[in-house]
Amino acid sequence: MALNQALVGKSYPAVRYEVGREKLREFAVAIGETDPIYHDEAAARAAGHPDLPAVPTFAVVLSLRAGQVVYGDPELGLDYSRVVHGEQEFVHHRPIRAGDRLLAAGKVAAASAKGPHELLTLETEITTEAGEPVCTVRATLLSRGTAPPRRSGT
């Protein structure tokens, strides 16, 4: 099934996310990050962080939560088992750290056909509950083999 390109620009309700220390440690372990600043609060503080910092790609956790809201939109027509990741970008306005109470709102930023495949860009804006910008996440997904057949003259 082809993606519904009419949804480009559509914004979705934000999901709430509270950043826990154990989750940050779990994520750091999962990516093989052993630097004590990601695991030990005293080491983090000694390095100038108010609490455990997140590794720079941790924001993908929030982006995925926000993405589930977007991908779950039946109007979008995305089959997640056909998806491979094309590009990923994080713009960090300030580091994510333990104790943050965040909001992550997804938006369909772009959708287009590329040969037999389709490209979908999800943009997630992460802010604190008070509205402070934290991170902008852009994920471009490749939906394999879902492009509609091309008609001549279009």
Residues engaged in binding other proteins (CB under 8 A):
23, 26-27, 29-33, 35-38, 47-49, 53-57, 60-61, 64-65, 80-92, 94-95, 144-145
> Coil, strand or helix: which one is 89?
strand
Provide the minimum distance between the beta carbon of 149 and other proteins in the complex, in angstroms, as a whole number: 19
Cβ atoms within 10 Å, residue 154: 4
Minimum CB separation of residue 53 from other proteins in Å reads 5
Here the tokens at position 16 are 């709430």
Residue 10 or 144: which CB sits closer to other proteins? 144
| Rounded Cα–Cα distance for residues 135 and 118 (Å) | 26
Which is closer to other proteins, CB of 6 or CB of 91?
91
Q: How far apart (Å, rounded) are the C-alpha atoms in residues 25 and 27? A: 5
Q: Give least dist CB 100 to other proteins, A.
A: 14
How is residue 94 written in tokens?
């300030």
Q: How far is the CB of 37 from other proteins (least distance, A)?
A: 8
Instruction: Name residue 8's beta-bridge partners.
Output: none
Q: What is the pairing mode between strands 101-114 and 83-92?
A: unpaired
CB-nearer residue toward other proteins: 85 or 151: 85
Nearer to other proteins, 30 or 130 (CB): 30
